[in-house]
Structure 1
């Protein structure tokens, strides 16, 4: 199925031609685009004059300890500064010619081929260069995740695993005590012990999956790290306010290198890494990537199938060659163990991770992952709020394994059978074994109840498409965050003279957003401004937990994978509720998509009688709209489900509804003599350092596209079809368990390693993977 957003495109040939011509022009980075669509009337008088020093708003931040329950404006500003640092790091790495052996020197040969095949000698150099740049960044991030793991181990080298016996005896009370802020012993960071910027970037994305982050820290006994907020003062001081380069003292660099035995600079570490064979546990060396071996022969970039359309053929050929690379960071990783001669792939590494966790359970009583928190994301209790489901959730999968299933899996899933699909088959058989289930439950009953089914699914979601020691694939999490980072760069609030007031306004809007989640059983989706405050809050894990539980009795999650269609529906509902409650448009943007959404929930009567809602919506048309710089839906977590016909049918209906609402908005604009909302504009993305033009189909399409073949795990898709890799075990899903499919249940999906430790957040029933709805409390789609 084509993307929902692509199906909305109505771009004409003339626009495509303009984009093609524009792509040949070298695009210079504009110093600072104008601030986004907040009303000028809301700005203070002193904001109207631009200060002589464009760094005045963020160069000397004072960020001491705070007792406030929500982020402070200066913390949001420091966060923006960090995001701009990440953006420039990515531009630098992605555009470094020859890095990791990934060179673009053959592009000249492609130009020569094209000059013989096409009259105008046209070629898609920028698209090929962007593809190679994306691969450089993906390898860099893969190395960064490995380095983060080493740094994390160095911070708290002694494991204090949360065991089944501890959890059972205390009925979850032990963990509840550990999250209490009064008992916290956070790690203190300053200029002398900050990590390198790549490690900091991974930590940042990890914390933006709050339930997964708490689960990992609790299970491994790393609660000091969990209680540690992002050290904003030290970070703000370390980032140069003009170049946004991250700079720490020499002492800090030496400390990191001594603690981790790694170089301070990611690029100075070895081009090789190692993996532990999942069969015999021996250590093997392997290159991070073999992309340096890409063929440079002319004939390898041509195709007999489409010989006349060289523009696409060359790009497809380069992409095909990248898909055959077999280093550890490549999609086609394939190695033979030097000790046992067994074949090792990404899938066998994931199965090996499962086997390793079974060994920890059998030998050390360590709980299986995914089952520590209750359905509302709580460790049995937070303050006076109780979640009694935690015990039943974590108990069953570990007890089922202890009852004999673990031994079966360890015995039979070996050699060529060391695959996640084989482990799934074994669990399915175990669930149907009456004696085994009765033994695990210590009762005569053997049919799984809802909590036990959900607990099994949660456990399995930690292994599908994820061989890392974390609850989710952090490489994908960092890559998906890149879209939000790019949008913050494009909006450029940092250089706005209204920066302080803008930060204060978006924090107020965030508080209202949490209020909507607390009072309504619908999934809520943030706008970009709300998402900045929301992200900033999550970077103080303990404070965020206490606040969201106090407001909603739920630990609101932030799932970073949400189906596009679900995101669309939830955004429309959030916009409607916000405008109804506060008399203001939720998205202060006049792009075609936001216009269509507003049209769908602004009644004819309200327009006729000139209600506050209708008048506020009309006033937005006085503000110019640019899809790249508008504060509309935040959708860096939008992904495309695959293999689900029901989803495809639902998409068709949403397309029809959006089309109808858009046509109404156009008719209304015509009557008022105003320009129609545009949707065929072309804009460029330079996410990887090269301008690539694309249609602005809808604002929730990230300006940064993903090329699936270069990733071990596609960061932009999730599998929902029955039997697809990543779906849950038979017997753990059903009408009573999930609303829709395994990818949209209220307790986290087993599909494609969906991030987060629970699918949805909020306070009602149902809900879908990644939103803010649902009685299973989980996360919002930000």
Structure 2
């Protein structure tokens, strides 16, 4: 009599059909589910436990010509992600790293309680953010060593090869790079490269513009990566030849932690080399964590203040003065310098501006026979933004950057551009027609170009520090599910690849955003790590080079997930998310009304039965929505929308509970928490709960990062009328002194008359609040 272990080790029906054709008499059975109970111990039929490392020890991950990802590539990806997970654990929990000591919290002599691990996790998060920032710098150095004399893309070459549809042609002389154990980069650089590729359009844009197409065609070096990672410890080993080659070509140590403790950067004023500490936060711990910290709750708040108060390069309020020319250097000044450097390259060498290469469908003019619709609207001289800057505006901006460098910011640059829009003669010259009004394609060209500079002073199309940080949530969830050590690993990968191909088909609908579950996202990420094949596959299937947006507001993400679940269920008669947590149950309930249950009773019974055996509601091991790209805007308009969505979700949840009771099933629990030790300290986090305050807190805390890694990202426009009313209320307060009233009145006037966009309004309100509070303190 077969025991449960034999069932767990059973293979898919297709494999068994193949065995039957070969003469086997065994009968076929469905592939194992994602989650199965452990086998009972059977003393009579006891066997030695299988070596669970064999599933990822002998993988066939050689380059292939199939445009779709393969099973072994998904398994290799799991192994690489586990390596990254353990790297973060190891680095983040190293006491004293980058000057951040646990003693910051323990100096108070308080007895440990449930809050203690949370405080330690915050300190660990800050260490990890600094480590990632240094890793991005090392990645930049590595690419410079790989491409010492790159041929950057000029406007004329872009036009010629773009129209011919050969910019992404792998048959060109760019070729491919060859990686093996002897020339692989260190693990921190590999991690940045991995996260970079998971933003397909930004990665393609940079590879085209910077002359890195050989890197783009190469894809992720699967074989070399899995060979370098130990099968039991998942540590990325150092090959002697690779380490020597790395040190020789980059002048950096193999282990990042052996590199210098100072950040090197160029002064935007005199272009001289300057050095900055990565953080100065610990320097303020002694007086910011004063006698008022009498319990761990107070210590936790104090640590937040300490970690967000520094002026080092990895601190949000980075500030230093150049020792050569006394120029004030901060993140905003570095973003402005980046823009001006790119404009200089455009004017002097015709190097295309970032954000101007890809059209509506993510295609650089033409790919094969597929033209991007955006380029059918542009003139013969290429994208609007490049022409707009080359005809005189760019030189004006560079002149202003020299004469008024102290006040020249990205907001000022945007205002300068907006003023130029009103110059009819200049616009006619730029557009090459008598029509002076901007087209939709023109506006998008400018907006996409400017998007490369907001919150991003790096040389890349997006802030890679935030990209790596946001991937942490996804990596931890896959670590918790632990498919890597499942006996059903191959069949699980086959199942999720089928689901992924269906998901791509759903993405043909360009009016809606499709949201993946964790299993689909694993296949999707794996596919993106072969950029050339991924581009060919998605264009052929959906008509566009599908991007993977890694910053989506929670409200939009959850509406899209409900639509994806409904569409998948309708097309394939299967539940999209096989998870039975409260959120997935509520989402299914939200798109299933009484009429559909009445007229499709048999189909709904099949769906219910498919989920009925899912006894586990463990949120830690559930394959539900992949929400690592969820961000939480911090404005009043979003809060109103989120409150409405939360009420709708609550209503759907109550219906799901009622139906579960009628069916005699367990109600989905909403108070589930899961254990997380991502930073090396055990903390309990709430299961995915959109619109609620606790979600995602320890994955990325906005105040600890220079850019917007997650929560707090300003997405939706600020409602100007609401802000003016807030300021008006401040004016109406009877205790407001005359000088305070003058400050606020000035800001109100600026908001009403001068603020052209939401960010200026937000900045004005913050300035008003700061001034208002400062005056109160001065009075005291």
TM-score range, shorter chain: 0.7 to 0.9
Higher relative contact order (CA 8 A, sep 6+): 1
**Structure 2: distance between partners of 1:54 and 1:650:** 47
Q: What is aligned with 1:707? A: 701
1:180 maps onto 2:175 in alignment: no
Q: What is aligned with 2:570? A: 580
The answer to whether the 8 Å contact 2:617/2:668 transfers is no
Pick from 498, 515, 522 the counterpart of residue 525 of structure 1.
515
Secondary structure in structure 2 of the residue aligned to 1:178: coil
Pick from 341, 345, 359 the counterpart of residue 326 of structure 2.
341
Secondary structure in structure 2 of the residue aligned to 1:296: helix
How many angstroms does 1:618 deviate by? 3.7
The answer to whether the 8 Å contact 2:67/2:533 transfers is yes
Secondary structure in structure 2 of the residue aligned to 1:417: coil
Change (3 A) 1:723 1:158: farther
**Structure 2: distance between partners of 1:751 and 1:52:** 58
Q: What is aligned with 2:502? A: 512
Between 1:654-663 and 1:360-369, the stretch displaced more is 654-663
The answer to whether the 8 Å contact 2:554/2:690 transfers is no
How many angstroms does 1:389 deviate by? 2.0
Change (3 A) 1:703 1:684: farther
Q: What is aligned with 2:493? A: 503
Change (3 A) 1:680 1:322: same
* Residues 417-473 of structure 1, C-alpha deviations (whole Å, 9 max, x = no match): 131111111111111222222221222222111000010000000000000000000
* Residues 484-503 of structure 1, C-alpha deviations (whole Å, 9 max, x = no match): 00001000000000000000
Change (3 A) 1:706 1:724: farther
How many angstroms does 1:182 deviate by? 2.9
* Residues 341-380 of structure 1, C-alpha deviations (whole Å, 9 max, x = no match): 0111000000000010111011111111101011111122
1:675 maps onto 2:666 in alignment: yes
**Structure 1: distance between partners of 2:436 and 2:73:** 52
How many angstroms does 1:673 deviate by? 2.5
How many angstroms does 1:652 deviate by? 2.6
1:329 maps onto 2:317 in alignment: no
Between 1:626-635 and 1:612-621, the stretch displaced more is 612-621
Q: What is aligned with 2:83? A: 85
Change (3 A) 1:619 1:69: same
Q: What is aligned with 1:279? A: 269
Secondary structure in structure 2 of the residue aligned to 1:295: helix
Change (3 A) 1:681 1:291: same
1:352 maps onto 2:337 in alignment: yes
The answer to whether the 8 Å contact 2:280/2:311 transfers is yes
**Structure 2: distance between partners of 1:495 and 1:322:** 37
* Residues 234-260 of structure 1, C-alpha deviations (whole Å, 9 max, x = no match): 111111000001114200111111111
How many angstroms does 1:295 deviate by? 2.7
1:296 maps onto 2:281 in alignment: no
Q: What is aligned with 1:550? A: 540
Equivalent residues in 2 for 1:767-778 (5 A)? none
How many angstroms does 1:330 deviate by? 1.5
Change (3 A) 1:106 1:373: closer
Equivalent residues in 2 for 1:558-573 (5 A)? 558-573=548-563
Q: CA RMSD in A?
A: 2.6
1:141 maps onto 2:141 in alignment: no
**Structure 2: distance between partners of 1:751 and 1:142:** 26
* Residues 56-75 of structure 1, C-alpha deviations (whole Å, 9 max, x = no match): 11122122231211111000
Pick from 626, 632, 638 the counterpart of residue 634 of structure 1.
626
The answer to whether the 8 Å contact 1:599/1:661 transfers is yes
Q: What is aligned with 2:774? A: none
**Structure 2: distance between partners of 1:705 and 1:249:** 32
**Structure 2: distance between partners of 1:50 and 1:458:** 59
**Structure 2: distance between partners of 1:457 and 1:633:** 30
The gaps in structure 1 that reach 5 residues or longer are: 1-33, 116-120, 726-748, 753-782
The answer to whether the 8 Å contact 2:282/2:306 transfers is no
**Structure 1: distance between partners of 2:651 and 2:285:** 49
Pick from 122, 128, 144 the counterpart of residue 131 of structure 1.
122
**Structure 1: distance between partners of 2:184 and 2:328:** 39
How many angstroms does 1:602 deviate by? 2.6
Q: What is aligned with 1:734? A: none
Between 1:548-557 and 1:715-724, the stretch displaced more is 715-724
* Residues 492-532 of structure 1, C-alpha deviations (whole Å, 9 max, x = no match): 00000000000011011000000011256311000000000
The answer to whether the 8 Å contact 1:377/1:555 transfers is yes
How many angstroms does 1:644 deviate by? 5.2
How many angstroms does 1:415 deviate by? 2.5
Q: What is aligned with 1:262? A: 252
Pick from 389, 394, 419 the counterpart of residue 374 of structure 2.
389
Secondary structure in structure 2 of the residue aligned to 1:684: strand
**Structure 1: distance between partners of 2:570 and 2:431:** 48
TM-score by length of 2: 0.83
The gaps in structure 2 that reach 5 residues or longer are: 1-7, 14-27, 40-46, 721-756, 761-780
The answer to whether the 8 Å contact 1:580/1:613 transfers is no
Pick from 28, 34, 58 the counterpart of residue 56 of structure 2.
58
Between 1:593-602 and 1:85-94, the stretch displaced more is 593-602
Kindly tell me the number of residue pairs found equivalent between the two proteins.
678
**Structure 2: distance between partners of 1:51 and 1:123:** 37
Q: What is aligned with 2:101? A: 103
The answer to whether the 8 Å contact 1:302/1:313 transfers is no
Between 1:414-423 and 1:474-483, the stretch displaced more is 414-423
Q: What is aligned with 1:429? A: 419
The answer to whether the 8 Å contact 2:314/2:706 transfers is yes
Task: Find the structure with the greater CA-based Rg.
Answer: 2
1:361 maps onto 2:346 in alignment: yes
The answer to whether the 8 Å contact 2:263/2:277 transfers is yes
How many angstroms does 1:172 deviate by? 2.0
**Structure 2: distance between partners of 1:128 and 1:500:** 40
TM-score by length of 1: 0.83
* Residues 694-722 of structure 1, C-alpha deviations (whole Å, 9 max, x = no match): 33352794484321111001211321354
**Structure 2: distance between partners of 1:530 and 1:444:** 50
How many angstroms does 1:633 deviate by? 0.5
The answer to whether the 8 Å contact 1:584/1:613 transfers is no
**Structure 1: distance between partners of 2:231 and 2:719:** 48
